[in-house]
Amino acid sequence: MKVLVPVKRVVDYNVKIRVKADGSGVETANVKMSMNPFDEIAVEEAVRLKEAGKATEIVVVSIGPAQAQETLRTALAMGADRAILVQTDVTTEPLAVAKVLKALVEKEAPGLVILGKQAIDDDCNQTGQMLAALLGWGQGTFASKIAAGDGKVAVTREIDGGLETVDLKLPAVVTADLRLNEPRYASLPNIMKAKKKPLETITSDSLGVDVTPRLKTLKVTEPPKRQAGIKVPDVATLVDKLKNEARVI
């Protein structure tokens, strides 16, 4: 079974982001970029499936600027076999990404697509569900466990009340939650090896997909700042403040 793993290049999760002064967006120039953490988990899961003999080939895909090649190289160093960059400088929305991925799935015919459940930049949490919809496949979102079987995959999902397990007919789409696995660090020899793995660059036009955004961003602003309060010396003072000042208990 071939596994397709889409990955996104995002502002590193440790970076304290800044809103642009003109309110047009968030500053991304000269900021450390990394693979979306949920996508790292997705790559790791695919690599584990391959190591367990359940997957035969792992193809990683990114849709974004030329620099997304670095993100793809990271995935190759983790153990993916081959990479495709769909190069565009447009800020792509989840629906556009899902359409590009659908076109690629039709070409590559994977048995399973694993994505991160959300990107930590736009926090949309949409792409996997949209891809599953466009393909007419089943979806297992927010996965904390994947068990691939014969013609189906059992996905344990993190839901509001706890955990839920669903069986999906293959092919299917799964989105990774935090506790699916702990992604490995790529070793130096694997980073060197990754440089020689195939990375193909294509355009969204060549796939016949229109990636023009549908939503118009009117403005981006800073959230209201919360002021630090006071330090209290002991538990008794804390309880007194909560009772008599804040009046919340």
Footprint of another protein on 208-227 (CB under 8 A): 213-223, 226
C-beta of residue 58 within 8 angstroms of C-beta of residue 46 = yes
Q: Is residue 181 within 8 Å of 41, Cβ to Cβ?
A: yes
Query: Can residue 169 be called a binding residue for another protein (CB under 8 A)?
Result: yes
Sole binder of another protein in the list 69, 87, 91, 125 (CB under 8 A)? 125
Interaction of residue 31 with another protein, rule CB under 8 A: no
Residues 58-77 that bind another protein (CB under 8 A): none
Q: Find the shortest distance in angstroms from Cβ 32 to another protein.
A: 14
State yes or no: residue 123 binds another protein (CB under 8 A).
yes
Residue 53 binds another protein (CB under 8 A)? no
Rounded to 5°, the CA angle 191-92-119 comes to 55
CB nearer to another protein: pick between 150 and 222: 222
Question: Closest distance between another protein and the C-beta of residue 199, in Å?
Answer: 28
CA distances for 239 relative to 27, 227, 244, 245, 247, angstroms: 42, 21, 8, 10, 10
Alpha-carbon span 171 to 132, nearest angstrom: 10
- In the set 57, 91, 158, 199, which binds another protein (CB under 8 A)? 158
Nearer residue to another protein within complex by CB, 86 or 173: 173
Rank residues 189 and 233 by Cβ distance to another protein and give the closer one.
233
Of 55-63, 64-72, 87-95, 198-206, which part binds another protein (CB under 8 A)? 87-95
In angstroms, the Cα distances linking 103 to 13, 106, 127, 239, 243 are 30, 5, 14, 60, 60
* 212 Cβ contact list (under 8 Å, min separation 6): 90, 96
Q: Which of 45, 157, 174, 204 binds another protein (CB under 8 A)?
A: 157
Tell me whether residue 34 or residue 118 sits nearer to another protein (CB atom). Answer: 118
Which contacts (CB < 8 Å, 24+ apart) does range 88-91 have? 88/63, 88/64, 88/203, 88/204, 88/211, 89/65, 90/211, 90/212, 90/213, 91/213
To another protein, the closest distance from the beta carbon of 197 in angstroms equals 30
CA neighbours closer than 13 Å in the CB half-sphere of residue 45: 31
- Contacting another protein within 229-248 (CB under 8 A): 229-232, 234-236, 238-239, 241-242, 246, 248
Q: How many residues bind another protein (CB under 8 A)?
A: 81
Minimum distance, C-beta of residue 193 to another protein, in the bound complex (Å):
30
φ, ψ (nearest 5 deg) of residue 146: -130, 125
**Residue number, 42 or 77, with CB nearest to another protein:** 42
d(CA 230, CA 85) in angstroms, rounded, equals: 51
